[in-house]
Amino acid sequence: MSPGLVSPEWLGVVPRVVVSGVPRPRDGAGRVRRVCLLSVHTSPLEQPGTGDAGGMNVYVVQTALRMARRGIAVEIFTRATSSEHQPVVELAPGVLVRHVVAGPFEGLGKHDLPSQLCAFTAGVLRAEARQEPGWYDVVHSHYWLSGQVGWLARDRWGVPLVHTAHTLARVKNAALAEGDPPEPMVRVIGEDQVVAESDRLVCNTDIEARELVDLYGADPARIVTIPPGVDLARFRPGDRAAARTRLGIPADAVVLAFAGRIQPLKAPDVLLHAAAALLERDPALRARMVVLVAGGPSGSGLAEPTGLQQLAARLRLDDVVRFLPPQTPDGLATVFRAADVVAVPSHNESFGLVALEAQACGTPVVATRVGGLPVAVADGRSGLLVDGHRAGPWADALAAVALDPARRAALSYEAVAHANRFSWDRTTDALLSTYEEAAAEFARRQAAELHATAWMS
């Protein structure tokens, strides 16, 4: 396994190299028997919290594994970023990851990847051409780069294209973090094209569905809202004292936590400013406060990879903040269980898986009232939502949870109940129903076009 690829601890399975395709599922599996997933810019084998790997990686892996358990063969295409990558790796029985050579092996920024879409598309089409006709029944693209590839594959293979944007350029540009560059026009145009061409657009929330209609002119009839899930077997309440012992944190500490990629969009700096404000209000709190920051620099955060550490020093939080590397899911669960409150101060989130995972562990969340976070967090019941990113209101919200044991206990109870409403099994079942509907509609449309052509001739 090459550097950067996930370990068995992250996947819960042991990937192995294979040389042939997944056997065709039994006929009883239904109309959709084999799914092509496209994830151009980030591999499902990469550790979330590093590079461009994050919630989308979790989404692709968790749904692919569950599709396979339902008898659906899944093949995931992603760009090869190392000469050590084997062409095909079995993620789990029924799930293949195909590494497509497109451009230099070293990592490319997302802004450089459009120039490699032609090469990537050629690799995908050639892989399908080596199989028997009708190999895939549906294409599901993740992020706009993959949607560009999926659009062409859909036309070549004669199958429906289902697309999940995960984030939208126009939405991100309307809520940029300070110093974060706007998304380029090439992405905006690319998203317009993918929205127009997709047979189904899968949204995380109704808010995202409205954004697609209002900002991209999407056809509401082609939009379906399917909330992401949480791995409830892994993220569940546990022994807080044991979690703190494992992390070397005193049992009576006041623990504030952040988990995610270190970049302006995710706004971990907001947590540091809020922590500094809390200490200014009550200097005695310094003896007990611990701020956990788990994750690595990513995206525009790579321009200043140590910027957050430098901010902690300027705010005189060196003795309070502990920086942890990107965590495996089990490691994340430990961080969440150890925390009194988890902060999700993002400037934009299409949903916010970290918020859901933390709540599933019984830890209340304080999050920004943006994007899908009002769905992921039940304001006043499983956590608190904050308008904006000013240190004062964030300090108020964090204190209201972390420094009030009775309120924290009530929020913790409701957090578990709220998170249990979401599961990857429900997400996967809804996706498969969407695939079936898109495939049936696509077949009817093809038949009607064929009939019209025959009548005209």
- The whole-angstrom separation of Cα 351 and Cα 363 is 18
Binding residues for UDP-N-acetyl-alpha-D-glucosamine are 47-48, 55, 261, 266, 327, 349, 357
- What is the phi/psi pair of residue 246, to 5°? -60, -35
Binding residues are 41, 47-48, 52-57, 110, 143, 167, 187, 261, 266, 327, 336-337, 339, 349, 357, 363
Q: What is the identity of the amino acid at 254?
A: V
Binding residues for Mg(2+) are 336-337, 339, 363
CA-CA-CA-CA torsion for 348, 369, 176, 300, nearest 10 degrees? Answer: -50
pTM to 2 decimals? 0.88
Q: Where are the beta strands (DSSP E) in 337-389?
A: 341-344, 365-368, 383-386
- The whole-angstrom separation of Cα 55 and Cα 49 is 9
For the beta carbon of residue 197, count every other beta carbon within 10 angstroms: 16
pLDDT, residue 24, reads 44
Ramachandran quadrant class, 12 (left: phi over 0; alpha: psi -120 to 50; beta: rest): left
Binding residues for 1D-myo-inositol 3-phosphate are 41, 52-57, 110, 143, 167, 187
Structural Rg of the chain based on CA atoms: 22
Q: Identify the sign of the CA torsion 321, 42, 143, 353.
A: negative
Per-residue pLDDT of the chain (457 residues; tens, 9 = 90+): 443 444 444 455 555 555 445 444 434 334 899 999 999 988 888 766 556 667 898 999 999 999 999 999 999 999 998 888 889 999 999 999 999 999 888 767 778 889 999 999 999 999 999 999 899 999 999 999 999 999 999 999 999 999 999 999 999 999 887 778 899 999 999 999 999 999 999 999 999 999 999 999 999 999 999 999 999 999 999 999 999 999 999 999 999 999 998 989 899 999 999 999 999 999 999 999 999 999 987 654 454 568 899 999 999 999 999 999 989 899 999 999 999 999 999 999 988 999 999 999 999 999 999 999 999 999 999 999 999 999 999 999 999 999 999 999 999 999 999 999 999 999 999 999 999 999 999 988 888 777 677 666 6
Beta carbons within 8 Å of 411's beta carbon, 6+ residues apart? 364, 381, 382, 383, 401
DSSP SS3 for 178: coil
